[in-house]
Structure formats: C-alpha cells, structure tokens
Amino acid sequence: MTRDSVTHNSMTNSSMTNDSKTRTGDPVAVLQGVLGETRCSGDAATRAMYAVDGCRPQAVAWPRTAEEVGAVLAAANAHGWAVIPWGSGSALAEGDVPTRYDVALMTTDLGELLDEDADNLTVTVAAGMRAAELNRRLRDARLHLPLTLGEGQGTIGGALMADRPLPKRLLHGDLRDLLLGLRVALPDGSLVRYGRKVIKNVAGYDMNKLFLGSRGMLGVVVEATLRVTTLPDQEAWLVAGYASIRGAAQGAAALYGSALLPACLHILLGDAVVAFQGMPGADLPEGRALLVVGFEGRGVTVRRQLADANRLLLAADASAVAELETLPAALAAALDDPRHAAPHPVAALRLSVAPTAVAESVARAVGTLVLPNMSVGVAADYSAGVVRLVLSGEDDDMWERLGRRLAELRRGLADHGGLAMVSAAPTAFKALAPAWGELGGEGRLMQRIKQQFDPLDMLVPGRYVPAYRPQS
Amino acid sequence: MPSTKRSARHRLIDRIGAIVGPAHVLHEVGDRYVYGYDASVYRGTDILAVAFPGSTSQVSKLMRLAAAEGLPVIARGSGTGINGGALPRAEALVIECSRMNQVLRVDPANRLAVVEPGVINQDLKAHLTTLGYGFTYVPDPGSQVVSTIGGNVGNNAGGMHCLKYGVTANHILGLEVVLPDGEVVTLGGEGGGRPGMDLTGLFVGSEGTLGVVTRITMRILPLPETVVTQLALFPDVAAAAAAVSGIMSAGIVPAALELLDHKMMAMVDRFVHVGYPADAGAALIIEMDGLGEGMDQELRRVAELCHANAALDIKTARNAEEADRLWLSRRAAYGSMARVTPTVYVIDTCVPRNLLAEAIGKVIAICERRGLDVVTVAHAGDGNLHPLIPFDNDNPAEREQALAAHHEIMAMCVALGGSITGEHGVGVEKQEELALMYNPRELAAMFAVKQAVDPGLRCNPDKVFPAEVYAAARAAGKAP
C-alpha cells in the first residue's frame, strides 16, 4: 500500500492537480440553482476562507436541510466534483493534502434541536449544531452532552467525524457509547437512517460505528441521536503538581487503580503548564507537569473522593495538590485542545498508546520531535491513552528533519501497538509525512469500504485512506 | 451420493484434517446432524464438516482453503444463539473455536484483558476473580455460564448490567480477525483516539458475516466498592415501568433494573421459591453500585420514586445470600419456563424506555388474539423486553401461531420507534424483519460493508440480510 500518489502532489493554491476524471459544469451556477443564489458562493474571499491545506474550492455551499445536503451530493456525483464537508472546521487540519476539492459543503446551517427526550435521556440534533449551543439549550432540563470541558465551538457532526476521546469518558463514556442513531447523506445523495432512540440495538451491522470517526469519507452526517447525561449536583477538581511527566503518570495510575470514580485524569506538560503559571484566580501548584482530576456527582460522594484522591496523590509524590470548585476556562480550553496554550503553534500531533505507556511515549516524542528553538505543549488523557502534542517555534529546514523524526517515532511506538497521527501541520510538512501513518490491514479494510460507498472517490479524496483507482 | 462426489468430499476433509489435525475434525453423519441445531426454534441443513482450530494460523489456513474451494464458512461458539445465527444453511465448513480458550493476558493497570474466542464468559469472570485483581468483565448475557466470548462478540451480547455499563461493543477495545480470504488483521488497540472508522465496533455484532474473530482485547473494570440489591413490587407493569423512567430521569443510573411481570413472578416462584406475593402485578429487581458514601441517599431517592409510582413494597437484600436469591429469581426465568412447556420462544426486542409498558401491553394483546400464552421479563432500564411464549415446536399449528405472533411483535416495536433485536441479533429468524427497520437503500448501504469485506458472500452465508438483498447482489453480478 503506497500513499505517494496521494500525498506527494505539489499543490498550488487554486488548481487541482490530480484531475483524472472528467468534471463537468460550474459548481457555483449549478448549486445556486439547487440551493438558491444566496446559498452558494464562488467569490475569491469566500473560497479562500474555506481552503483546506492551501487548496481552495470552486464553490462554497450552505444547504439548510438534510434534503439539500443530499441534493448537493447528487449534483457533485453527477458532475464528478470532489466535496469536503465542513462543520466548524476545527478538526479539518487533520488529514493529507486533498487530491481534489471542488465544493466546500457547509453543514453549519443545519442547526436544529430536533428532539429532546428527558424520559429517555436522548437528544436528536442536526449535525451543524454547535456543542456549546446544544448544551445551552439543554441546561434548563438539566441535561448535558459531555463533549468538551470548555465552551465547545465544534459542531456535533464534526465531533462524530473526528471521534476524539471525550474528556469525562471515565464516567460518561466516549462517543461510541453515546451515539444511538445517525442520518447520513450518502455520496449519491440518498438519505439513510441507522439506529434508533434505543440504547440496545443489534439489528444488522452497527452502522453508527462505521460512520463514527470516518471524517466524511463515506457520507455526510446530517443528524444524530445521542444519549445525554443529567447535570451533576456538584463538580470538583484537583490539580496536582509534579516534577516530571513520569510523576504525573504515576499519580494518574494510582487513581486509575483505585476504587474511586474520577470523571477524568488529564496530564499537562511544557507550554501547556507554562501558560497557567501565575494565572490570576487559580492558585495552581508548582511543577513541570500537572495532573488534572475531575470528580462529579452528589456532594457527599465528591467530598469523599476529594479526600481520598488528595491522600493518594500526595503519597504518589505530588509536590502539592490544589482543590478547585470549577475549572478555569483557559485551563479547560487547553485540555480540550492544547493549541490554545501554545505560544506559536506550528504543528500538532496525537499519540494513541496504552495508559501505562503514556509517560514513556511523551518522553520519547518530546525527545524525538522537539528541535532546537522549539517548545512543546502536551495534554494527555491518561485513561484513553491519548497524548496531544503541540510544537511551537521555527527552525531552519525543520520540516524535513521533523518528517524523518516522525517516521522514527512511529516505528518506536508501533513496537508496542502505538500510533502517531498529525493533527495539524503546514502543507510543507504534510507532503513529507502522511497524517495517519501506516495502518496496515485495518487501513486496507477502510479503503475497501470507502470504495464500496464512494466508488467515484468524491468525498474528501486523498485525505485519509490511500487512494484507490476510481471506477470509470 | 455419487462416489466421485464422496471422494472429493473426503479429500477436502483430509485437507482440513491436515490443517487442524485429524482428531480435530468431525464429519460423520451424527456429528453433522447435531451441528444443525442451535438454541433457536429453527433447524439448519447438512454441513461438510466441523473443524476445531487451535490457533489463529490454523483459522487462517482454513479460511484460505475455504476461499480456494468456494466453501461457505460458519464460525460457531457454544451454539446458544436464539435466532439461528449459527445454523448451517449450505454444505458449509463450521469453524468451532472451543479449543482456542486461553486467557492470554490480564493487565489491570491498563484495565484490559486479551482472550481467545473460545473462552466462556463466566470462566473469564472466574479467572479474574481467582487472580484477585478486584476486576471484572461486565457483559453478562443470560447464557454466560456456557456462551463464549467469541459468540458474545459476534452477537454484541447484552445482559443484566448493560444499563450502566453498556453492551459487549462498549467493552471491546480491539480484535484480531481472520478475513474471508485468510488475511489476519488487527483492529483497534489499547489506546484510544485511533484514526478512522470504528471497525472494531463494526465487527462486533456482525454475526460472523465478515470473518472469524480469533483474539479479543476487552476492557475490564474494578469491582464496585458497594453493591445493593433491592426488590420493588408494583400493582402492574405500567407502574413499574413508570418508576423505571422516573429513576432514570432523576439522573440515577442503577447497575441493573430488571422487570418481571405477574405471570413470570408466579412461574419462577414455583421453581425457586422467592416468595413473591400473589397480589403483585410486576416486580423490579434494582441493583445499585458505586462508592459507599452517598449510597444511602441514592437508595432513599430510588425508594421515593418507586413509591411515587404506586410501589406496594420495597425490600433491600440484607446480605449477599438474599441478593443472590433475588438474582436467581431473574436468572431462572427461562429455566422455570422449560419445566412447563416443550419449547420456549424467547423474543428479543427493544423500545424507547418510556414506551416499555405500552409495548408489553401490546405483546399480550397480540398473543391473546392468537391463542398463545405469554410471560415477560425485561431489561427495563434499557427498554429491552423478552416476551417468552410457551408452545410446542412440533405442533405445526402452534408453531405457525408463534412465528406469526413474533412477526407482529417485531412490527409493533418498530412502529414504537424500537428495534427488532436488542441483544440477540438477526440470524435467520429476523432476516425479513430487518426490512421493517431499514428501507432498500439503507439495506444496500449496510450490505456494501458485507461486499467490501466478504465479496464472495461465504462467511455465515445468507444470514442477517433479507433474502432479496442477496438475490439483488447476485442478479447484479456483484456476487457469486
């Protein structure tokens, strides 16, 4: 399996290089006919705004309904246009440089809360609804979708397509545990629904799982039914300071192995700690690494856990432990995305490793990737085994060196089943290193499934799985 | 059977024996006959042979042989499925995974275990207990004392504790799978945030139609600090179901919330003598778990919500023996039925939780119209109901009524926004009913997954999807 034909194209800003198929029609004119004149734009400034990896679409379309999303895809299918679906765009930096890109399909105007069911603890929501807006609307009913710690600006559809571990996964699960149903526009424009408002359903394949994390490769999610939680009586946080990432990981391990029921165990390091030192309003402990532990539930349960956890963390060599009633917004934002705490972010990576390998993997990644004149910020979700690194700074010919070093890091992690993905980087770097690396048989299966769903390779072509020869 | 065919058949069996060892192949007529059964009310056809591989490499070789010979392949665990999922439908090679029964790794620090597919669910739990880690693997289908992890994965098995902890899919982190062409692939892994489609989740519950699972990485969880089991009695099913909704909406998530209707209570009481009062119309078995602190508050709140919904009585088990006795009364449901009827038709369907009482009422009406008796147990917190219909499978008239009632119940639950199966899968029983939930385009996209992974349609052939889906693929020349 080679990716070179996909990733190594030298892209220019507006013209696509890999135009092997016949594309017909003017996307702007056709889609204005489908959606109305104001719902599709081809002006230069708009196209530049929705560029992906420097590639500009010919048209940006804002459908308002699921049916209109289907109509855009049907038109694209008929004319051979390549489509990249957009939510807020916050996760679109992950992926290789697109091989073709004609239409930016905006889902942000699909923003309805379609069903709110407090009896069943479910919501059905259009894909373009922003997580923060959804939670604002659920607050009166004391319901909550635990997607982010801070104000989540991303959309529900985007969250499903990226499938990041949820910050309070230890109590509420990940998206694969919360997602009950989907409505999807397939590449030919037809609309399909899978799943139901039931929490147990084994009727045929679990298509929710197939679309989860698929990044728009198979279709455009237009609607989702999700389990929600009830807002807890009380929330509390412990922030423990450590001299090193190893110490912080030991603290996390002590809690992970205990009978306590924390909602999360997050570790911050480097730039992600520096940003908060001396932050007014929050007296955070000293230390190169911070362990952030969240608890929620009834008051008496939270109080007992705070006391026990405090003891366990100090016994596990924490320099100090601070107790907070709420998580400061800036800290929450950094935990959601460490780019928020980086001085001059130039690239972001994500590692997937076993929890007990978190400390060693961070040390290895920092040692391998951080060149002179660069700094790094790290946010790691211990229980998920997910480490996010943000590199800041500049260095001469850094991309070439980083490309080689990433390959070295990937080989090292692979020995223990770990992976390293590039979440964001300039195109100069993307040309040197595929975003997801080598996924072996699992990657080939994804490719085979994509081929069945999208034989013309019109959805996010070239960005995630290796190219196949589209059927003529 | 013509002699040339017989010899071709024996040559094939010899090649299977060369892979797994001659002692690990069954192919005599009696052996083939018994593998034509599972726990469903259906029967399969004759098979070629049953192979018992001892390793992934042997499974891969069997799959390569089957691919070269165009043989259908059916993976089988303990055969406890109730929908005919393990029934052979052609002259298939059955791959029975009972020899691959090792717990390969227990890693409490990472909260995971790695096992082979032939490990029995209950044996894994016992293994974890014996090692004294204080951890457990949560999914607990009613068949847990005999069913294998491989079968649980194939059917995405549920159980009593899904309400708080989720079904099998929620606990599976990674799989090693042998694809139909014999390629061994690893899906998922120990870390989260892996890129791309959740293929691990997709393979769980695919009922053996995409390949054979040979290794499973699953999440294990620390045993809860405190567990309290309660029995709440209600005048009728509607009151019990309303209490269930009340508890859940209050933000309380019990570990289990099991419902027994009046007839079910009477039936199990005759068998295990729990002492259910005759005047109660429904019982809820409620299990709460978590930290000791706050448990009293939580139990008081549950009691309030039960009383607010007309509970007649609430009892709390005072010790482990009393709790076990309550649980026995639930787990003995099928056994108590088997004492009074030749066949128990276990029906599995799921509706939105707040429609449970309505669904049960409609099930009773459907069965009454057809002259059938019905008793009901339900994983009430999940909206997952199991009406049990006693009948005689050898009496064609009764069988016809039972099957017709089943179909009507499926249609009714789908109309309520529910699913034709909550935790047992489609198999052969519900193939046609799948079309009640999904239109032809939806079925076609679902089937596209099958075609991508098993283009020869040889893995557990002609199951799960309606017959017309297979026929359409073949008519379009997209499948052999």
Pick the last residue of a domain from B334, B352, B382: B334
Residue B429 lies in a domain: no
Residue A51 lies in a domain: yes
**Domain count across chain A:** 4
Pick the last residue of a domain from A230, A258, A292: A230
Q: Is A174 on the interface with B (CB under 8 A)?
A: yes
Domain that residue A102 falls in: 4-108
Residue B386, domain CATH? 3.30.70.2740
* pLDDT for res A10: 33
- Are B170 and B60 part of one and the same domain? no
Residue B424 lies in a domain: no
* pLDDT for res A280: 74
Contact A448 B438 (CB under 8 A): no
- Are A342 and A331 part of one and the same domain? no
Closest chain A residue by Cα to residue B425 = A202
- Are A213 and A252 part of one and the same domain? no
- Are B444 and B393 part of one and the same domain? no
User: Token digits for B50?
Assistant: 């049953």
- Are A92 and A157 part of one and the same domain? no
Q: Is A246 on the interface with B (CB under 8 A)?
A: no
Residue A324, domain CATH? 3.30.70.2190
Which among B155, B170, B193 is the nearest to A352, CB-wise? B193
Minimum distance, in Å, between the CA of residue B253 and any CA atom of chain A: 10
- Are A315 and A370 part of one and the same domain? no
- Are A168 and A201 part of one and the same domain? yes
Minimum distance, in Å, between the CA of residue B88 and any CA atom of chain A: 19
- Are B191 and B278 part of one and the same domain? no
- Are A117 and A226 part of one and the same domain? yes
Low-confidence residues of chain A: pLDDT under 70: 1-21, 467-472
Residue A420 lies in a domain: yes
- Are A314 and A398 part of one and the same domain? no
Minimum distance, in Å, between the CA of residue B270 and any CA atom of chain A: 31
Q: Is A215 on the interface with B (CB under 8 A)?
A: yes
Contact A204 B426 (CB under 8 A): yes
Residue B18, domain CATH? 3.30.43.10
Minimum distance, in Å, between the CA of residue A196 and any CA atom of chain B: 6
Contact A386 B193 (CB under 8 A): yes
The span from the CA of B358 to the CA of B356, in Å, is: 5
The span from the CA of A121 to the CA of B234, in Å, is: 24
Which among A217, A355, A442 is the nearest to B185, CB-wise? A442
Residue A16 lies in a domain: yes
Pick the last residue of a domain from A230, A254, A285: A230
Q: Is A352 on the interface with B (CB under 8 A)?
A: yes
- Are A122 and A92 part of one and the same domain? no
Domain that residue B450 falls in: 434-475
Contact A201 B350 (CB under 8 A): yes
Which among A194, A205, A214 is the nearest to B196, CB-wise? A214
Low-confidence residues of chain B: pLDDT under 50: 1
- Are B160 and B198 part of one and the same domain? yes
Residue B426 lies in a domain: no
| Contact indicator for A296, A279 with CB cutoff of 8 Å | no
SS3 letters for chain B? CCHHHHHHHHHHHHHHHHHHCHHHEECCHHHHHHCCCCCCCCCCCCCCEEECCCCHHHHHHHHHHHHHHCCCEEEECCCCCCCCCCCCCCCCEEEECCCCCCEEEEEHHHCEEEECCCCEHHHHHHHHHHCCCCEECCCCCCCCCCCEHHHHHHHCCCCCCHHHHCCHHHHEEEEEEECCCCCEEEEECCCCCCCCCCHHHHHCCCCCCCCEEEEEEEECEECCCEEEEEEEEECCHHHHHHHHHHHHHCCCCCCEEEEEEHHHHHHHHHHHCCCCCCCCCEEEEEEEEECCCCHHHHHHHHHHHHHHCCCCEEEECCCHHHHHHHHHHHHCHHHHHHCCCCEEEECCEECCHHHHHHHHHHHHHHHHHCCCCCEEEEEHHHCEEEEEEEECCCCHHHHHHHHHHHHHHHHHHHHCCCECCCCCCCCCCCCCCHHHHCCHHHHHHHHHHHHHHCCCCCECCCCCCCHHHHHHHHHCCCCC
Contact A203 B382 (CB under 8 A): no
Contact B184 A441 (CB under 8 A): yes
| Contact indicator for A320, A235 with CB cutoff of 8 Å | no
Residue B354 lies in a domain: yes
Query: Count of A–B CB contacts within 8 Å?
Result: 284
Residue A293 lies in a domain: yes
Which pTM was predicted? Answer: 0.95
Q: Is A304 on the interface with B (CB under 8 A)?
A: yes
- Are B141 and B218 part of one and the same domain? yes
User: Token digits for A328?
Assistant: 């400061």
The span from the CA of A263 to the CA of B27, in Å, is: 54
Residue B428 lies in a domain: no
Contact A448 B453 (CB under 8 A): yes
- Are A64 and A139 part of one and the same domain? no
| Contact indicator for A468, A103 with CB cutoff of 8 Å | no
Q: Is A384 on the interface with B (CB under 8 A)?
A: yes
Per-residue pLDDT of B105-125, as tens digits, reads: 999 999 999 999 999 999 999
Residue B38 lies in a domain: yes
Residue B27 lies in a domain: yes
User: Token digits for A376?
Assistant: 């790094």
| Contact indicator for B328, B272 with CB cutoff of 8 Å | yes
- Are A270 and A323 part of one and the same domain? yes
Residue A465 lies in a domain: no
- Are A330 and A342 part of one and the same domain? no
Pick the last residue of a domain from B309, B334, B359: B334
- Are B236 and B294 part of one and the same domain? yes
* pLDDT for res A8: 32
**Distances in whole angstroms, Cα of residue A298 to Cα of each of B252, B297, B300, B304:** 11, 9, 13, 17
- Are B217 and B231 part of one and the same domain? no
Closest chain B residue by Cα to residue A353 = B191
**Domain count across chain B:** 5
Residue A38, domain CATH? 3.30.43.10
Residue B480 lies in a domain: no
Which among B199, B452, B464 is the nearest to A204, CB-wise? B464
**Which residues, including other chains, have CB under 8 Å from residue B255's CB and lie 6 or more apart?**
B161, B163, B164, B165, B224, B227, B287, B288, B289
- Are B74 and B115 part of one and the same domain? no
Residue B296, domain CATH? 3.30.70.2190
- Are A104 and A32 part of one and the same domain? yes
Residue A60 lies in a domain: yes
The span from the CA of A388 to the CA of A365, in Å, is: 10
Pick the last residue of a domain from A79, A108, A137: A108
- Are B325 and B347 part of one and the same domain? no
Q: Is A214 on the interface with B (CB under 8 A)?
A: yes
